[in-house]
Amino acid sequence: MLDTLKTIILDYQDIPLPAGVPRHLRIEPLPGKAAVCLGVRRCGKSTLMGQTIRKLLESGVSRRNILYLNFFDDRLHGLRQQGPSVIAEAYYALYPEKKNTETVYCFFDEIQVVPNWEAFVDRLMRTESCQVYLTGSSARMLSREIATQMRGRALSWELFPFSFREFLDWKGLGGAGELSTRRRLLIEQAFDQYRQVGGFPEVLDVPPYLRVRMLQEYFHTILFRDLVERYDVAHPRAVVDLARRLMDSIACPCTVNRLTEYLKNLGHKVPKTSVGDYLAWLEDAYFLFTVCIFDPSIARRNTNPKKVYCVDHALAASVASGLSANSGRLLENLVFAALRRIHPELYYYRTRSGKEVDFVVPEQGTIRRLVQVCESLEDPATRKRELAALAEAMTELNVGLGTVVTRHESERIETAAGVVQVMPAWRFLLDLPDVPEAT
């Protein structure tokens, strides 16, 4: 294992670094703390690490001071039995003169697959002169292990598939500038493409039929690597059927009881507790997210149905049966992902009369904004329904400004509850800040 590690370390120091579109997420480590980047598979974590390494090299750091390992490399499978402590031994066997004299920048990709990694990283930062960068596709595992084992020695950031701003960068339309008629038309055209292809970097420039196949492969890889294999699931087929059911239920309320009954009708003998675990693991893998009802009572939040969203609207459309035809639900998922990128807590709201608002965005104990998503307000009945729900929520929650995100429309509406701003989705996405601060 020692010789294998030496070879991998040296090989990486010789290969060209990935370029890619610069991400808007800025990872800024602090001395004595590991920088942790979390996100779904294939969202660009490894490329972001490569970009970080490139900046270090440009600042004068030697390539020999970079230690990079991707633990999905089959050659590192033995570390799962042997443990990660041999990593430092291999590096300092190559460069003994650097031990405790120079800072070594350690980049460990998908480290959660290695048992006891947290103790190793903690010891590395305490006993060696190292700055550590970690990536992982497991929110719960990393957050739990960091909290219990690393004792405040980490800062974490979340990385998602491309935001619309990052997609515009990929198209060459990013950056500041006047929103001229031509630029606005190009941005609107780019948004139409973004709605189709989503934000996973690898699929942006491939033919549609290959894009769908690649996204479906992501779906199966996440299920089998991040759920079935990681948790040794006894009913793998039930996991697949559950995930497909959830994809068909994007932007719709679900309960564990109903999902358990659905699997039972398919012939799966899976207890309710296991279904709850599957749902939690799908969230842990940054694949699916659930949104609770906004209510001061935690008990009522937990007992009411939760709405389900996917990390990427195009991924959902590639798997779900018929979802691509429901452009309104896909638009809602797109808006959810944009909000979730910067707000870790989102809720939906049901008024006292039973009307529903899609998103409540809280911040520091107050409600920052209410957001309703609707493909179009052209139909009078739809307009009446959507605006009435938002106005009631604004009154009940004492919020003076509401937002309706539509496909094309733009309008400012004065109501008794306050101002309702109707915005096209592309404009709404551009008005959002890039990323939140580290947690």
Three-state SS sequence of the chain: CHHHHHHHHHHHHHCCCCCCCCCCCCCCCCCCCEEEEECCCCCCHHHHHHHHHHHHHHCCCCHHHEEEEECCCHHHCCHHHHCCCHHHHHHHHHCHHHCCCCCEEEEEECHHHCCCHHHHHHHHHHHCCEEEEEEECCHHHHHHHHHHHCCCCEEEEECCCCCHHHHHHHHCCCCCCCCCHHHHHHHHHHHHHHHHHCCCHHHCCCCHHHHHHHHHHHHHHHHHHHHHHHHCCCCHHHHHHHHHHHHHCECCEECHHHHHHHHHHCCCCCCHHHHHHHHHHHHHCCCEEEEEECCCCHHHHHHCCEEEEECCHHHHHHHCCCHHHCHHHHHHHHHHHHHHCCCCCCEEEECCCCCEEEEEEEECCEEEEEEEECCCCCCHHHHHHHHHHHHHHHHHHCCCEEEEEECCCCEEEEECCEEEEEEEHHHHHHHCCCCCCCC
Which pLDDT score is estimated for 176? 65
Reported as a pLDDT band with limits 50, 70 and 90, residue 156 is confident
Options 3.40.50.1820, 3.40.50.300, 1.20.810.10, 2.40.160.20; CATH for 2-158 is 3.40.50.300
Residue 120 scores a pLDDT above 60? yes
Which position has the higher pLDDT, 434 or 256?
256
Reported as a pLDDT band with limits 50, 70 and 90, residue 323 is low
Residue 143 scores a pLDDT above 60? no
Span 270-287, pLDDT tens digits:
999 999 999 999 999 999
Which pLDDT score is estimated for 324? 60
Residue 262 scores a pLDDT above 60? yes
Residue 337 scores a pLDDT above 70? yes
Quick one: average pLDDT of 310-336? 89
Span 63-118, pLDDT tens digits:
999 999 998 888 988 887 788 889 999 999 999 999 989 999 999 998 888 888 88
Residue 121 scores a pLDDT above 70? yes
CA-based nearest residue to 22, from 164, 136, 169, 158? 169
Span 41-53, pLDDT tens digits:
999 999 999 999 9
Residue 325 scores a pLDDT above 60? no
CATH 3.40.1350 fits 326-439, yes or no: yes
pLDDT above 70 coverage of the chain, percent = 95
Options 1.10.3470, 2.40.50, 2.160.20, 1.10.10; CATH for 206-324 is 1.10.10
Quick one: average pLDDT of 51-58? 94
For the chain, the domains span 2-158, 206-324, 326-439
Cα–Cα–Cα angle for 375, 378, 382, rounded to 5 degrees: 70
* CA 201 – CA 14 distance, rounded (Å): 24
Which pLDDT score is estimated for 439? 47
Which pLDDT score is estimated for 149? 63
Which pLDDT score is estimated for 139? 65
Which position has the higher pLDDT, 303 or 438?
303
Q: What is the mean pLDDT of the chain?
A: 91
* CA 338 – CA 332 distance, rounded (Å): 10
Quick one: average pLDDT of 212-231? 94
Residue 357 scores a pLDDT above 60? yes
Which position has the higher pLDDT, 365 or 33?
33
